[in-house]
Chain A
Amino acid sequence: MVDRSHLKVPKPTPVDLTKLPLKFPKIEIDYSKCTVPFWCKKCLQACSQLVFQVYCKQLARLKESDPREPGTYEVVTVRRDKCNMCNKCVEVCPEDAITITY
């Protein structure tokens, strides 16, 4: 390993540590109901805060997955800290897969 102790690595942390801990909404997704999120994507489009993201669960060599096939993608709540509990995602979800508690 290269010795980098002499380098001045910038450490800007926009998070105000004195305000922690903070409380954020808890968002649960029922994966037995939400199976094709890349195809449905209603919650991703409805959320003004971009809380949700999708990722491919079956990344494999030489294989392109079909987003219409159940289980290839999963939707996850990433930026929970920005959720304002407007409940729009709950309203648009055709499968009633989302529950939000605070």
Chain B
Amino acid sequence: MCIYCELWGDGMTWYLNPKNYPRHMYTLPRPDAKPRAAAGEANPGGYINAERALVDAMEKGPEEFEATLKAMRDGADLVQGCVGGFMGQAVPLRDAEKMVEMANPLGLIACLCRKAMLAVEERSRPETTCMGLGVGMLKWERWPERYKGGVHWVSSDEAKEWLRDLDTRGFMHSLMMFGPRFIGGICNCDYPVCDALAMRLDFGFNMLKGHHVAMVDHDLCNGCGICAQRCQFGALKMNVTIDKANIDQMRCFGCGLCETGCPRQAISLVEKAKLPALQEVW
């Protein structure tokens, strides 16, 4: 079982458990507490420092690298309350749509990773690629630098349409936690611009695989190759010998981009819970 489900699932997929969306999930600071950096802005700063430290440690040797990695995993556990340094999880479009039905309010915002990597500001609503969920968003005005471009409030139907549009363009969806159990947003990512994804694919933490894996029906697949362009994880390759798509389910993150992109509905998402050998693959 996924560690989050074990902790917070109450027998269901944890991010579909309504108990994980109430108001009190957001911990308000005590009145005497010192002001902290905006939750989101601290992250890329954190990622920048973490990535740099890991690269420096790789130059020093295996012991140094392992120690740095361990310190970060343990540190994330204490500071963020997230287990083993994982702060997010890949979610397919269908689950992201269920999440925006449960969470309120919903605000479209600029992506911090793209801001850091490309020095771009997503100032208008069509440019936005990130979404903040829940009561934490109501504090956004305190941090205009983090929320450059402001917040575009949307209804759950508008949010779904926005998610579908990003899905069509090839962004994979992931949820993002701000502190223990508090689902603070839905990211729409791609490698290498998304720092959380890069941390996972390059160093092995920050984002958990999702609850599904993709499967190809070879009778329906005509070998068009569209799905292969959409996989961010190197899990889906074209099997040129038989001219069909092939998915390595040990690598698959269950993002569902191949499924939503396939013009012949040849790919389906299968729940990992039904596949005993994938129970520990996260």
Q: Which residues of A contact B (CB under 8 A)?
A: 1-2, 4, 7-15, 17-18, 20-24, 37-38, 41, 44-45, 50, 53-56, 58-65, 67, 73, 76-81
Closest Cβ–Cβ distance, residue B51 to chain A (whole Å): 5
Distance, CA A58 to CA B148, complexed state (A): 14
In the complex, which residue of chain A has the Cβ closest to the Cβ of B38? Answer: A59
Q: Which residues of B contact A (CB under 8 A)?
A: 3, 6-7, 35, 37-38, 41, 44-45, 48, 51-52, 55, 58-62, 65-66, 69, 73, 77-78, 83-84, 86, 115-119, 141-146, 148, 192-193, 198, 201-204, 208, 280-282
Top 5 A-B pairs, shortest CB-CB distance? A9-B84, A64-B144, A41-B119, A17-B62, A10-B282
CA distance A41 to B114 in the complex (A): 13
Main secondary structure of the interface of A (DSSP, over half): loop
18 interchain pairs (CB within 8 A)? Answer: A4-B77, A11-B84, A13-B204, A17-B65, A20-B65, A21-B60, A44-B118, A50-B192, A53-B117, A55-B45, A56-B41, A58-B145, A59-B37, A59-B146, A76-B48, A79-B55, A79-B192, A80-B52
Per the bound structure, the CA–CA distance linking A84 and B173 in Å amounts to 30
Residues of A close to B77: CB separation below 8 A: 4
Closest chain A residue, CB of each to CB of B41? A59
Q: Which residue on A lies nearest to B69, using beta carbons?
A: A13
CB distance from A95 to the nearest CB of B (A): 15
**Which residues of B have CB within 8 Å of A64?**
144-145, 148
Q: Say yes or no: B7 contacts A55, CB within 8 Å.
A: no
Contact of B61 among A7, A20, A54, A78 (CB under 8 A): A20
B78 cross-chain contacts in A, Cβ below 8 A? 1
A10 proximity list for chain B (CB < 8 A): 3, 84, 86, 208, 280-282
Contacts of B280 in A (CB 8 A): 8, 10
